[in-house]
């Protein structure tokens, strides 16, 4: 049975939020462990919680310090090569969405012109069409 898509919004009910936090944190730690084991990489996760006085780390505090120290010893260019912050992530997503929207506009315009061509073939006159439609139709016929 498939699950319904989870609405990503702040959970206002305190007890439900705490229960969700515990489950999700456990799942996150498990995923980091699996990633480290399956891919043979050094990984760590540090989770600060409003419900605990100390942060929880995977694999443990010492292991997380080792991975972070190894990361900090890398040259700054190497550190930031694949690092993403929220601003750059959102900017990338917006750019990608804008490109997709532009492509969809182009596809829709092409379909509109094809529809006009079919209407012309069925006897509709070209008198009501503007210059842009006629130019686009000419371009489509040539391609």
CATH number at 55 reads 3.40.1810.10
Number of structural domains in the chain: 2
Pairing of strands 45-47, 56-58: antiparallel
List the beta bridge partners of residue 58. Answer: 45
Q: What is the pLDDT of residue 62?
A: 92
Maximum average pLDDT range among 10-14, 53-57, 99-103, 123-127: 99-103
Cα(81)–Cα(85) distance, integer angstroms: 12
Cα(119)–Cα(113) distance, integer angstroms: 10
Cα(141)–Cα(123) distance, integer angstroms: 18
Does the pLDDT at position 1 exceed 70?
no
Q: Which of 34, 54, 82 is the last residue of a domain?
A: 82
120-130 tens-digit pLDDT: 888 877 777 78
Neighbouring residues of 70: CB distance < 8 A, sequence distance ≥ 6: 42
- Domain assignment present for 72: yes
Cα(140)–Cα(143) distance, integer angstroms: 5
Q: Which of 63, 82, 101 is the last residue of a domain?
A: 82
Cα(89)–Cα(124) distance, integer angstroms: 49
Q: Could you check whether the bond before residue 59 is cis, i.e. omega within 30 degrees of 0? A: yes
Structure tokens at 114: 């094809």
Q: What is the mean pLDDT of residues 48-58?
A: 90
Does the pLDDT at position 32 exceed 90?
yes
Instruction: Give the end-to-end CA distance of the chain in Å, rounded to a whole number.
Output: 48
Residues 105 and 119 placed together within one structural domain of the fold: yes
Q: Domain containing 118: what range?
A: 87-142
Structure tokens at 111: 């379909």
Does the pLDDT at position 140 exceed 80?
no
Residues 109 and 78 placed together within one structural domain of the fold: no
């Amino acid at each position: 049975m498939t699950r319904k898509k989870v609405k990503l919004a702040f959970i206002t009910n305190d007890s439900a939020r705490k229960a969700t936090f515990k489950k999700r944190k456990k799942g996150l730690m498990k995923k980091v462990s699996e990633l480290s084991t399956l891919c043979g990489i050094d990984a760590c996760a540090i989770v600060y919680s409003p419900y605990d006085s100390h942060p929880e780390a995977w694999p443990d505090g010492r292991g997380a310090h080792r991975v972070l120290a190894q990361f900090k010893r890398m040259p700054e260019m190497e550190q930031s090569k694949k690092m993403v912050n929220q601003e750059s992530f959102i900017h990338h997503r917006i750019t990608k969405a804008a490109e997709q929207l532009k492509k969809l506009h182009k596809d829709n315009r092409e379909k509109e012109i094809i529809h006009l061509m079919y209407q012309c073939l069925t006897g509709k006159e070209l008198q009501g069409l503007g210059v842009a439609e006629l130019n686009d139709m000419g371009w489509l016929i040539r391609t």
